[in-house]
Amino acid sequence: AQSVTQLDSQVPVFEEAPVELRCNYSSSVSVYLFWYVQYPNQGLQLLLKYLSGSTLVESINGFEAEFNKSQTSFHLRKPSVHISDTAEYFCAVTLVNAGNMLTFGGGTRLMVKP
Amino acid sequence: DGGITQSPKYLFRKEGQNVTLSCEQNLNHDAMYWYRQDPGQGLRLIYYSQIVNDFQKGDIAEGYSVSREKKESFPLTVTSAQKNPTAFYLCASSTGWGGGQETQYFGPGTRLLVL
């Protein structure tokens, strides 16, 4: 069975500093990888996803994630965070050609301080 | 506007009571999902439906039931058999079931509390 581990439950960072949210997965078959963001008391929104091709994927609001197959990782980065980035971030996977069931990590709460 | 609506926003359940959470989508999506969110545990899949009139159990289906009589609706009933129902419940949908690459779109959630 597949699993997703987000190594940090909380990441405090000052505004305009860089940040990395770590995600590692375990699976015996190929996976697709997703990052979702959840603002307080709201549903989840897709931030970015890796399906194939370039291992570096970017979102429209400055986040990027890099798929590293050898390290089974999909870390999320942003070079300069804003107060508005304060939210919970979830890494998730689906199995290639095996349906659309997402397996989520436990989430990382990003807290951006002024 | 296209999207997913969930109601109510907050729901209170008494001991021994069944409660139903509503999920409606106007995105014309075939697949729909129910997740349970507990602090520090991420989201766990309760039930999913690939197409109308069909649904399958997810990882934590015990104590829950669903129906999918209409494409746009996927209500979740939390039965009295669910002994720890306090959680945030999220409904999602995707265009299809397919190969795993479809984006899931989430509703705003319902918070269920036990009195």
Contact B103 A46 (CB under 8 A): yes
Interface of A with B in 69-108 (CB under 8 A): 90, 94-102, 104-107
CA distance A99 to A14: 40
Q: Please name the member of A32, A43, A44 whose beta carbon is closest to the beta carbon of B101.
A: A32
Are the C-beta atoms of residues A24 and A105 closer than 8 Å to each other?
no
pLDDT of residue B78: 96
Tell me if B109 sits within 8 A of B90, measured CB to CB.
Answer: yes
Does B16 have pLDDT greater than 90? Answer: no
Q: Which of B37, B89, B111, B112 to mutate to test the interface with A (most CBs of A within 10 A)?
A: B37
Q: What is the pLDDT of residue A113?
A: 97
Residue A42 and residue B42: Cβ atoms within 8 Å? no
Residue A95 DSSP one-character state: E
CB contact under 8 A, A96 and B104: no
Cβ neighbours for A102, distance < 8 A, ≥ 6 positions apart: A34, A92, A93, A94, B33, B43, B45, B104
Average of per-residue pLDDT across B45-53: 95
Interval A89-96 mean pLDDT: 95
